Amino acid sequence: MLSGTSPESCDTFVAMSPATLRGDVVFGKNSDRPADEVQEVLYIPAQNHTSGELLSCTYIDIPQASRTHAVVLSKPAWMWGAEMGANEFGVCIGNEAVWTREKLESKEALLGMDMLRLALERAESADQALEVLTSLLAKYGQGGLCVEGPDEYLIYHNSFLVVDRRRSWVLETAGAFWAAELVTEGVRNISNCLSVGTSVHREHPQLRAHARERGWWDGKSPFHFAQIYSEYGGTCPRLHAGAQLLKKHSGTGVFHAQEMMSILRDKESGICMEGGHCTTGSMVSVLNPQGAALHFLTATPNPCRSIFKPFAFTENVVPLLKTVATPMKTAALTEDKRPDRRHALYRSQECAFAGTSPAKLLQGLQELEKRGLKMLDMMASSSQSDPAGSCSLSELFSNFVEEEMNVHQTVH
């Protein structure tokens, strides 16, 4: 795949008060990647680190922070960074590939996915995450191949939707330059094109001067970031389709997790993507203003064939063994000599849908997902630290993974 093309992939959404039930913040993303790429879900606890420690990201090493926060990540198994995730403080981030007028760098630097993970590990709020992201961009730059394989060549710039319980930031980059839009109410989405217009609340200090130097802006007309810095002048159909779906589902002020999942499963718009470039993982997070949060992740391709399984940050989270890819050193090789990184849940889904009628299988999976969604009501009404009752929060995601695999095997 050439870096000069712009594959249509990935969509990230947020809904906030007054559009949402109980004033919750609802975050969602589909990660659209090469169809043969495995996406894993893993939990990393908070950790303290020694002074002078180096951190190996996908391509480069950088100094490690003195402390990193607990995170849950949905990530391509071959890279260090993540496509989407959340941390223990209720910060959620999703990123998008964008193509701009600035030069694409094949030189190894930080991937946008690396920056996303670093921001989750180091920030306690959306404001702090914005600072981390822009600081990393200034210090290390963005660059390097964004897909695995000797015959693949895809490089892009990045946009981010950064969310917490109070506010959201849309951060869009063009090489070293960036613009950020603050969102405090209603709905917003991003896709594979620049979308920040004249509502620029923070920006790179040389953003406008650089545009004037390049002849992209006359310095007099309104500064519209997307129009000035976009490589392609055409429309972005999926950005528009996503906005229309958000509007459709949020009009009554009761938008919640189910509505976000419905959007992520929408095939007509292309948001649920199939084919050679497809939806390889999906995530929905619900952040209650009073502090409770639940995160739902699929860990498998195609949300129409997967279920969103609940995860909660708590002490002693059980390792997510069934959704973590096989380590490279022990993985078998695929036909193109890449490690076979399919994790247990991925293999289970693959086998189940290869050998049975989808309708019967989907019915069982939908019933399981409904049980997970009921926890949102329990979370809202319960004063207990463990609204799951007999199902400990520390085992919550792992137990749902086991039950999903049981549905696969029973119906198969």
Which range is least confidently modeled, 68-72, 158-162, 269-273, 288-292?
Answer: 288-292
Q: Which amino acid is at 336?
A: D
Tell me, yes or no, whether 247 lies in a domain. yes
Q: Give the pLDDT confidence of 337-350 residue by residue, as tens digits.
A: 678 999 999 999 99
Tell me, yes or no, whether 31 lies in a domain. yes
Tell me, yes or no, whether 354 lies in a domain. no
Distance CA 295, CA 287 (A): 8
pLDDT of residue 67: 98
The mean pLDDT of the chain is 92
Active centre residues (catalytic): 10
Instruction: Kindly state the helix (H) or strand (E) to which residue 173 belongs, with its residue range.
Output: strand 168-174
pLDDT of residue 385: 47
- When pLDDT is averaged across residues 168-175 and rounded to a whole number, the result is 98
Residues paired with 20 in a beta bridge = 255
Q: How many Cβ atoms from other residues are within 10 Å of residue 185's Cβ?
A: 14
> What contacts 8, CB < 8 A, 6 or more positions away?
32, 191, 192, 237, 238, 270, 273, 277
Contact between residue 396 and residue 296 where contact means Cβ atoms under 8 Å apart: no
Three-class HEC string of 191-233: ECECCCCCCCCEECCCHHHHHHHCCCCCCCCCCCHHHHHECCC
Residues of the domain holding 312: 11-317
pLDDT of residue 334: 62
**Residues listed for the chain:** 412
pLDDT at 25 over 70: yes
- When pLDDT is averaged across residues 360-381 and rounded to a whole number, the result is 91
Tell me, yes or no, whether 389 lies in a domain. no
Is pLDDT larger for residue 392 or for residue 332? Answer: 392
Nearest residue to 133 (alpha-carbon basis) of 146, 143, 147, 122: 122
Banded pLDDT at 8 (limits 50, 70, 90): low
Contact between residue 325 and residue 40 where contact means Cβ atoms under 8 Å apart: yes
Q: Give the pLDDT confidence of 144-156 residue by residue, as tens digits.
A: 999 997 666 789 9
Nearest residue to 192 (alpha-carbon basis) of 236, 146, 142: 236
Q: Give the pLDDT confidence of 75-84 residue by residue, as tens digits.
A: 999 999 999 9
Distance CA 327, CA 38 (A): 12
pLDDT at 128 over 80: yes
Tell me, yes or no, whether 363 lies in a domain. no
- When pLDDT is averaged across residues 17-31 and rounded to a whole number, the result is 98
pLDDT at 362 over 90: yes
Distance CA 72, CA 100 (A): 30
Maximum Cα–Cα distance across the chain: 66
pLDDT of residue 3: 44
Contact between residue 145 and residue 73 where contact means Cβ atoms under 8 Å apart: no
Q: Which amino acid is at 317?
A: V
pLDDT at 364 over 60: yes
Tell me, yes or no, whether 86 lies in a domain. yes
Extract the tokens encoding 226.
């997307």
pLDDT of residue 86: 99
pLDDT at 308 over 60: yes
pLDDT of residue 337: 65
How many structural domains comprise the chain?
1
Q: Which amino acid is at 312?
A: A
Tell me, yes or no, whether 75 lies in a domain. yes
pLDDT at 389 over 70: no
Q: Give the pLDDT confidence of 98-108 residue by residue, as tens digits.
A: 999 999 988 99
Tell me, yes or no, whether 378 lies in a domain. no
- DSSP letter string, 4-20: TS-----EEEEE-TTSB
pLDDT of residue 7: 55
pLDDT at 89 over 90: yes
Is pLDDT larger for residue 234 or for residue 163? Answer: 163
pTM of the model: 0.94
pLDDT at 2 over 60: no
Contact between residue 162 and residue 156 where contact means Cβ atoms under 8 Å apart: no
CATH classification at residue 262 = 3.60.60.10
Extract the tokens encoding 193.
């094109």
Banded pLDDT at 37 (limits 50, 70, 90): very high
pLDDT of residue 150: 62
pLDDT of residue 357: 72
Distance CA 265, CA 107 (A): 36
Contact between residue 164 and residue 25 where contact means Cβ atoms under 8 Å apart: yes
Helix axes 396-411, 344-354, angle to 10 degrees: 30
Is pLDDT larger for residue 303 or for residue 337? Answer: 303
